[in-house]
Amino acid sequence: MAIFSKPSRLPDISQAQRRPLILAALVLLLLRSRLGGLGKEGIDAVSSRLLRGKGPAKKLSAEENLQVLQKIYEKNGDAEVLLVPYRDRITKVPIRPIPQEKFANDKKHFPLLPQSVQKKPNIDLSFLKQLRALLLRIVLPPPSWDGKGRSPLWRSREVGVLTLHSAFLILRTVLSILVARLDGRIVRDLVKADGKGFMKGLGLWFLLAIPSTYTNSMIRHFQSILSLSLRTRLTRYVHDLYLSAYPDLRYYRVSSHSSTAEGEHETNHGGLDGVEQYITADVESWAASLSGLYGNLLKPSLDMLLFTSQLSRSLGVRGTALLFLNYYATVAILRAVTPAFGRLASVEARLEGEYRRGMGRVGRESEEVAFYNGGHREKDILTKAYLRLIKHVNSIYKIRIAYEWTEDYVIKYLWSAAGYALIAVPILFTRAKRSLGIQASPSDEARERASRDEAVAGRTETYISNRRLLLSLADAGGRLMYAYKDLLELAGLTTRIYTLVSTLHQLPPLQTPEIDVVEDPEAIQLKNVDVRVPGGIDEDGIQEMDLVSGLNLTIRPGEHLMITGSNGVGKSAVARVLAGLWPAFGEGAAIHRPADSPVNDDPSDPRPRPTLFVVPQRSYMVTGSLLENIIYPDTYNDFLKSGKTEEDLQAILESVFLGYLKEREGGWLTRKEWRDVLSGGEKQRLGLARVFYRRPKFAILDECTSAVSSDVEGRMYESAKALGITLITISLRPSLMKYHTQLLTLNGEGTGRWSLTRLGTAEERLSVGREIALLEQKLADVEKWEKRVAELEHMLGAESFEAAEHDGDHDSVSEVGAGSENGSEVAITESMLQE
Ligand SMILES: Nc1ncnc2c1ncn2[C@@H]1O[C@H](COP(=O)(O)OP(=O)(O)OP(=O)(O)O)[C@@H](O)[C@H]1O
């Protein structure tokens, strides 16, 4: 019984294949017209349309470029058009912020992963769910897609690119089969010594080469476009989610450490390390890996399918079954030797991030490091981070040796050998069968010879075509196996991206209950607020003590508050609660913050008046021009709309004693690395200039004048008060007390005690110079008094004379927190000063 069926003769290419060839040529022509030309321009046009939705922009002069750099955005309906300078041109990128409802809908599709899955990504159900969520919620659907068919998925640009990419991948496989057949036909004609047929075959060969090579480059091109497109979609989504406004402030809270318990997530902070690595490098790698993998999976799968179907025509049922057995054996062997590439890729990305972050830190803090001459120390730290990275990468390489060796052996040699065997058996078998056949009669000899020649030519054609198909099959198999490794790596990256998105989604908004009955709606009020580090736990996993306990505070407009206390006691922490960066803890804790006023007190300024503006302890300089640094966080467009002029800005700079800056730095539009260019005091004064520009109702000044001389500081305080800004100053400088009407003293030492002192009216208040002089004088008298007491004791012979050394009235203390003794301490100082 025949094991293999007789090889069937392949149909003549000129008849059977003419139609697909014409079809392929037509598809190409169609695509060519769709793409606006096959050359670079056509591709550029597609790229630019995909990336910016418009054609190439006109060239700009240096001056125009500078103007655009200032503007950043243009308004276009409800969408904003981002102006991106690129090679003396401005590309306009329409930005439609993702609606909040979409984020609210998406939240349930991104539940947090357990720590065990985050650490050991694999190709399993969880991976498929993560990939599905990322693809169907973020990167594939059109922005308006709601999953209910109102805006179908296929209308998205990414699905369009994917379709074109897939079309070229299919075309490529079809062309490969045609090439294999043509190859067989050319050799057949050669064996038959058919010169005409041979020349015709050669002509077809060159013709077929055109779509084949073009298809190859288009596959690569669409893969890159797809990768870029996926990256852009994901980046935009993550940007919108990450750089969220109050009450989310995800960029502020996502990195903070919160919990050590496995799988447990603190309600207010994310605990995601190295978030910049996730958003930049990981998103890019994920997009590249996914688009590459699509091609690497689809094409070899198609190849396998079509080549197998082609081969099965000549191999018969049993041959095909053996072919599948071969596939199965290969997969089983390779699965057994495949290391956990997913986990390895995820660890590599994390280590890469640590090294990059370290490098970034040295770049940012280079001056501080240089002052300490700390290069050698930084080198140790960075080298350690680098060595950890390359040790890991090296171990991957070592692990790969065994895997790749097995893979090469199985794919290249075993498959090829199996292929030869599969081809050889039917040929040998057919010949053997033929040799066993009945002898031909002498009269038929000529016909017999001719038919034998024909059979040899046919067998040669079958052999050459099948051999090519089998080699391509081996190649496709190899690619599929490589794709398995890529798939594992994609699983690692997917888990990282999913972790990023889910952590961002699951951060609950910062919310503190509003006070029920507010005495003064225009006042900031805190009721029973405990201030503590969110998620702060010590080594034993126990909640850390409150920095401040049960804080009750009312700051009315015009009642300037100063917050003081020793270092690390929690002054800035109170500011964070006031500004809403940290939640207010404690039983019955509630806060009232007045709403922004719709109108500004300056009639020429149409902007609403913000309630609160904070100048933080560390000066922050934004990338951009001098002007942008003063108006931060407003944009240049906001500035234009505000009706303010450059003269107004100059006046603001004068009021913070920086009037010389514009001249010195070469104009408002000068762009510099302001962090390095300005001195510490200048940066602090620029911070105050922002307060004057925005004119908030309340301004929290967190030790933001520590590097400014006292006289300048005083004048700036007076100017701020004159603008109707209520100051909340955090400072250790007693000299600032005179500008305030309330004093909040934090006592710390783990007790959470605080005291609030009314500093009295202007007449009652003493100047700080006098306060200090008085105190010093009184301290100097102490020795004198002691001597006098001793004299009196001696004179009267009295036993003990514990006279009340200090006895002050408590009128000045309006409210005292947990530690009443601290209240009396402040009161004593007051009474002594009044004496
Ligand atoms: N994000 C954080 N994570 C952990 N601990 C924090 C965090 N922020 C502040 N702390 C801790 O909370 C305490 C209070 O910090 P805060 O910045 O309020 O101090 P401060 O009173 O303003 O000090 P200084 O006068 O030195 O500025 C400190 O012990 C600090 O270490």
Pocket of ligand 1 (CB under 6 A): 256, 533, 536, 547, 565, 567-573, 617
Q: Whose CA is nearest to atom 8 of ligand 1?
A: 533
Say how many Å lie between the CA of residue 572 and the centre of ligand 1: 7
Count of structural domains within the chain:
4
Q: Whose CA is nearest to atom 29 of ligand 1?
A: 568
Q: What are phi and psi of 561, to 5 degrees?
A: -115, 135
Place of tokens 């999976």: 297
Per the structure block, which two tokens stand in for 571? 């002054």
For residues 150 and 73, state if they share a domain. Answer: no
Q: Is residue 753 part of a domain?
A: no
For residues 482 and 594, state if they share a domain. Answer: no
Range(s) of the domain holding residue 79: 65-94
For residues 610 and 638, state if they share a domain. Answer: yes
For residues 562 and 614, state if they share a domain. Answer: yes
For residues 270 and 342, state if they share a domain. Answer: yes
Q: CA 198 to CA 194: how far, in whole Å?
A: 6
Q: Is residue 103 part of a domain?
A: no
Collect the ranges in the chain with pLDDT lower than 50: 1-17, 29-55, 149, 257-267, 432-440, 798, 800-835
Q: How far is CA 385 from the centre of its chain?
A: 22
For residues 169 and 29, state if they share a domain. Answer: yes
Q: Is residue 376 part of a domain?
A: yes
Q: What is the pLDDT of residue 110?
A: 94
Q: Is residue 302 part of a domain?
A: yes
For residues 291 and 321, state if they share a domain. Answer: yes
* Terminal C-alpha separation, the chain: 124
Q: Is residue 518 part of a domain?
A: no
Q: Whose CA is nearest to atom 18 of ligand 1?
A: 570
Contact at 8 Å (CB) between 183 and 17? no
For residues 616 and 664, state if they share a domain. Answer: yes
Say how many Å lie between the CA of residue 533 and the centre of ligand 1: 8
For residues 179 and 321, state if they share a domain. Answer: yes
Of ligand 1's listed atoms, the one at least distance from the Cα of 703 is: 27
Contact at 8 Å (CB) between 421 and 318? no
Say how many Å lie between the CA of residue 549 and the centre of ligand 1: 15
Helix, strand, coil tally for the chain in percent (to 5): 60, 10, 30
Which residue among 569, 706, 751, 754 is best mutated to probe the pocket of ligand 1, counting the most ligand atoms within 8 A of its Cβ? 569
For residues 138 and 77, state if they share a domain. Answer: no
CATH of the domain at 128: 1.20.1560.10
Q: Whose CA is nearest to atom 16 of ligand 1?
A: 570
Tell me the Ramachandran region of residue 95: left when phi exceeds 0, alpha when psi lies from -120 to 50, beta otherwise.
Answer: beta
Q: Is residue 827 part of a domain?
A: yes
Contact at 8 Å (CB) between 190 and 39? no
Q: What is the pLDDT of residue 829?
A: 39
Q: Is residue 4 part of a domain?
A: no
Q: What is the pLDDT of residue 407?
A: 79
User: Dihedral angle at the C-alpha atoms of 365, 371, 377, 383, nearest 10 degrees?
Assistant: 40
Task: Indicate the helix (H) or strand (E) that contains 657.
Answer: none
Q: Domain boundary residue among 702, 722, 740?
A: 740
Say how many Å lie between the CA of residue 16 and the centre of ligand 1: 80
**Strand partners for 543:** 537
For residues 397 and 275, state if they share a domain. Answer: yes
Task: Specify burial of residue 787 (Cβ count, 10 A radius: 0-12, 13-18, 19+).
Answer: exposed
Q: Is residue 749 part of a domain?
A: no
Q: Whose CA is nearest to atom 3 of ligand 1?
A: 533
For residues 138 and 219, state if they share a domain. Answer: yes
Give the SS3 label for residue 410.
helix
CATH of the domain at 601: 3.40.50.300
Q: Domain boundary residue among 57, 76, 94?
A: 94
